[in-house]
Amino acid sequence: MNHLFFIFFSLFSCLSNAMESSDQTFLIDLVNLNSSSHSIEGCDRVRQRISQEAKKLGLNVRTFELQEKRKILMIEAQDAQPEILFIGHVDTVFSKDSSFQKATLLKEKIKGPGVIDMKSGIVLMFSILKKLSPQNRKKVRILLNDDEELGSFISQKKLRELSRGIPYGLVFEPGLADGSFVQSHSGVFWFEVDVKGKAAHAGNHPERGVNACLQLSQWIQEIQKLENPKKKLTINVGKIEGGNQTNVVCENAKAFFDLRYVDPRDLESFKKQLHITLKTKTVFSDKKESVSVQWRHLVSIHSMPSSASEKIVSVAKKLAKKNHFDFRATHVGYASDANHLSTLGISLLVGVGPYGGHMHHSEEFMKISSYDSRLKFVTALVQKLLF
Ligand SMILES: [Zn+2]
């Protein structure tokens, strides 16, 4: 048995199988504090409770104030030299007036708002820190924002700044229902297509008009043809607007699209194709001069390709094999804060947190056994990465 294996073996065998009561209390406290993304006061209360826990461990807590009273909490040891990030968020999707407010402890699960997304992830960060040697504790930086459920549009810049130069990042979002980790995220690209036609009386002189609603419906079909599910490039037309009155030939119409992709090169080639399609395809009218079609980009979130997680995934696979652990990592179509960090050259792994089911729903729950298995595996993974 080599030295390294001995450390892991001891670590796996000495941990108990149940969630420690102090961890459970910390988790229930956090779940019972409403921290909807829209409630800064609620997020502040959660931050206070987290800071108490950090201080118990002798860690320093720094708060970065951002626009619109948003904040990032940075927690690390005195004289830290971070080599690994623990990333998370304090906000949840449950509003202050939602009927789902409190944690319920059941036999094998804990139910509660945000219990997996991601208050148990935050508790897990501290449980892992407690298992680390003082020397390794200095190599961890915890970053918690409060607008993740809104897309981290305010916090992402600061998040990147505080992450730059740190080689590893673990994102404590929940694992998938079967315990899988997340190795890649789709990117998101929202755009709008506007069609301008010509109004006319629908009864008197319909031939004088050019119907933008009808034109748009044709353009949507053309754009949809650019989808490439094999490459995980999907297009959803989620919203259509157009026209004013039933008896007027529709003058203006627009459609809003959600595009998901993995490889940024596929997005670039889509944009070129879209441009060419809108320029060169025949307008579906014989009055071309009266029709204009334009597109504009609305929102984009960079994808996290699997190359960003390759390094940690390979370490995790070897570790799992050695310790007879079931490690699986997969792709998901939604985004997390890992998307915002994926261009910094940080090796990332997502879905590190405990898991359960019904995320973002009034039945959200965490499997208690998942806490224990994540604690064992992720602690060992952190030790291995920092070795
Ligand atoms: Zn989350």
Ligand 1 centroid to residue 336 C-alpha, Å: 7
Ligand 1 centroid to residue 214 C-alpha, Å: 40
What are the CA-CA distances from residue 25 to residues 92, 103, 184, 271, 360 (Å)?
Answer: 19, 11, 33, 50, 22
Ligand 1 centroid to residue 91 C-alpha, Å: 8
Ligand 1 centroid to residue 174 C-alpha, Å: 7
Ligand 1 centroid to residue 93 C-alpha, Å: 9
Mean pLDDT by 10 residues, the chain (387 residues): 43 57 97 98 98 97 98 97 98 96 95 98 98 97 97 96 98 97 96 95 93 93 96 96 97 97 95 91 65 93 95 98 95 94 96 97 97 97 95
The two tokens of residue 213 are: 């609603």
pLDDT at residue 290, as a whole number: 72
pLDDT at residue 283, as a whole number: 63
Ligand 1 centroid to residue 267 C-alpha, Å: 25
Q: How far is Cα 178 from Cα 234, in angstroms, rounded to an integer?
A: 25
Ligand 1 centroid to residue 173 C-alpha, Å: 5
Ligand 1 centroid to residue 21 C-alpha, Å: 24
Ligand 1 centroid to residue 123 C-alpha, Å: 14
Ligand 1 centroid to residue 191 C-alpha, Å: 24
Instruction: Mention every residue, 6+ apart, whose C-beta is less than 8 A from residue 215.
Output: 195, 197, 253, 283, 284, 285, 291, 293
Ligand 1 centroid to residue 119 C-alpha, Å: 9
The two tokens of residue 56 are: 């118990």
Ligand 1 centroid to residue 114 C-alpha, Å: 8
Ligand 1 centroid to residue 344 C-alpha, Å: 21
Can you tell me whether residue 381 is helix, strand or coil?
Answer: helix
Q: How far is Cα 138 from Cα 118, in angstroms, rounded to an integer?
A: 24
Q: How far is Cα 263 from Cα 174, in angstroms, rounded to an integer?
A: 24
pLDDT at residue 17, as a whole number: 54
How many CB atoms neighbour CB 212 within 10 A? 28
Beta bridge partners of 182: 330, 350
pLDDT at residue 284, as a whole number: 62
Ligand 1 centroid to residue 236 C-alpha, Å: 23
Burial 232-264 (b: 16+ CB within 10 A, else e): bbebebeeeebbeeeebbbbbbbbebbbbbbbe
Say if residue 51 is exposed, middle or buried (CB neighbours under 10 Å; 0-12, 13-18, 19+).
Answer: middle
pLDDT at residue 155, as a whole number: 98
What are the CA-CA distances from residue 64 to residues 154, 194, 221 (Å)?
Answer: 12, 40, 47
Ligand 1 centroid to residue 95 C-alpha, Å: 15
Considering the entire predicted model, what is its pTM? Answer: 0.86
pLDDT at residue 8, as a whole number: 45
Q: How far is Cα 322 from Cα 331, in angstroms, rounded to an integer?
A: 24
Ligand 1 centroid to residue 375 C-alpha, Å: 18
pLDDT at residue 279, as a whole number: 84
Ligand 1 centroid to residue 368 C-alpha, Å: 18
Ligand 1 centroid to residue 88 C-alpha, Å: 7
Q: How far is Cα 309 from Cα 314, in angstroms, rounded to an integer?
A: 9
How many CB atoms neighbour CB 148 within 10 A? 27
Ligand 1 centroid to residue 117 C-alpha, Å: 4
pLDDT at residue 289, as a whole number: 66
Ligand 1 centroid to residue 44 C-alpha, Å: 17
Can you tell me whether residue 180 is helix, strand or coil?
Answer: coil
> Which structural domains are found in the chain, ordered by start?
3-185+304-386 (3.40.630.10), 187-301 (3.30.70.360)
Ligand 1 centroid to residue 31 C-alpha, Å: 14
